[in-house]
Amino acid sequence: MQPRRVVVTGLGALTPLGNSVDSFWQGLASGVSGADFIKQFDPSKFKTRFACELKDFDPTNYMDKKDARKMDPFTQTAVIAADQAVADAKIDRATVDLDRVGVIWGTGVGGMINFTQELKEFHQGDGTPRFSPFLIPRLILDIAAGYISIRNGFRGPNFSCVSACASATNAIIEAMNHIRYNKADVIVTGGSENIINEPCVGGFNAMKALSERNDDPKTASRPFDLDRDGFVMGEGAGALVLESYEHAMARGANILVEIMGGGATADAHHLTAPHPEGLGARNVMKAALADANMQPEEIDYINVHGTSTPLGDIAEVKAIQAVFGDAAYKLNISSTKSMTGHLLGAAGAVESIAAIKSILHGLVPPTINHFTDDPQLDAKLNFTFNVAQQREVRAALSNTFGFGGHNASVIFKKFVP
């Protein structure tokens, strides 16, 4: 069958830069850092004492207190971002076929906050098991998709994608393909991650993955800078409403952009380190371009994975140059993780939103915190250092790569009826 065109009609976001899409985009465009010292627990004994946390976030501002207590924070943020996206898309549950509306969601870790708290309380007690009946529903990774479905009555395809930091991008690609091949008309997709707690910070510290720049947290995330020393943890959620072109037109929806294609590959190299020549990254961008039936010259902006790790940034740039050749010098490249930190399983969702907004506003958000060029990186490439740049963005590609060698890329394009 002929694949259907797929468009984006709604967006929602909770990020370290703001609790809405507009505030998120304003922060990106202004080059604001979301990093600060951790407030969710006492980090004084940890090697890293800062992160990009949500600001002024209270789930009861968005939902009933009783409902909020049943959810781990990763589900709370998922539900809230999805609510925003559904409202933005103006989905009318009374007029759409709810059997044809689904939810495909991504997360890398799931309900770690509540799981950790339950274990603490058990070990501090007398050993008698007194676990919450909501422990398992708070913990399991599929539950965010389930809650979004239940809250809205969406009875179409419903599941979660787990591929570490590529989870949300894989979810978006799955959603696109379900609509392409007529398995659904509308899919709410994206990802959420809220794991800024002791075992997660301690675990990433033990791997030597996190920046330890405690003297200056706001400049700690330094993608492509010579002195980068690891990523900064972030938290939050991003949601997109994907819809078939025909369905969107029939209901008079406001179409934001078209989603053209996506790719998924594996490095097959190492548990945590990227392939040194960016082989998996190279292959996934080629796969996304082929799926979109597009040429490298048609891409104007790449929102890169760009985590601020010594090896990862170099491997991704090598991959971009291998795929794009001379066209790489006409691209804008930027890492919005320099501002949001790394949202892990939610990264692909919020970064897809950044790519979409760049198309809509003709503005490429910057890679902030650049101080010193890395001689291993080609200085002729446009990394959009420190200040946003205005340009027409006809199409944007978003990269996300995860531990385990998972790679996913997705392409969005300016909508043309």
Q: SS3 letters for 13-32?
A: EEECCECCHHHHHHHHHHCC
Phi, psi of 36 (to 5 degrees): -165, 175
**Which listed residue (165, 178, 200, 275) is catalytic?**
165
Q: Cα(238)–Cα(10) distance, rounded to whole angstroms? A: 11
* 305 included as an active-site residue: yes
Q: Any idea which residue has 């370290």 for tokens?
A: 16
Give the Cβ contact number of residue 191 at 10 Å: 39
3-state secondary structure of 34: coil
Q: Cα(373)–Cα(375) distance, rounded to whole angstroms? A: 6
Of the candidates 257, 219, 236, the one whose C-alpha atom is nearest the C-alpha of residue 338 is 219
**Which listed residue (178, 305, 370, 406) is catalytic?**
305
Structure tokens at 307: 């985590």
* 161 included as an active-site residue: no
Looking at residue 256, what DSSP letter applies?
-
Phi, psi of 139 (to 5 degrees): -85, -45
Q: Are 75 and 139 in contact (CB under 8 A)?
A: no
Structure tokens at 116: 């950790």
**Which listed residue (178, 247, 275, 342) is catalytic?**
342
Of the candidates 196, 229, 236, 225, the one whose C-alpha atom is nearest the C-alpha of residue 56 is 236
Catalytic residue positions, numbered: 165, 305, 342
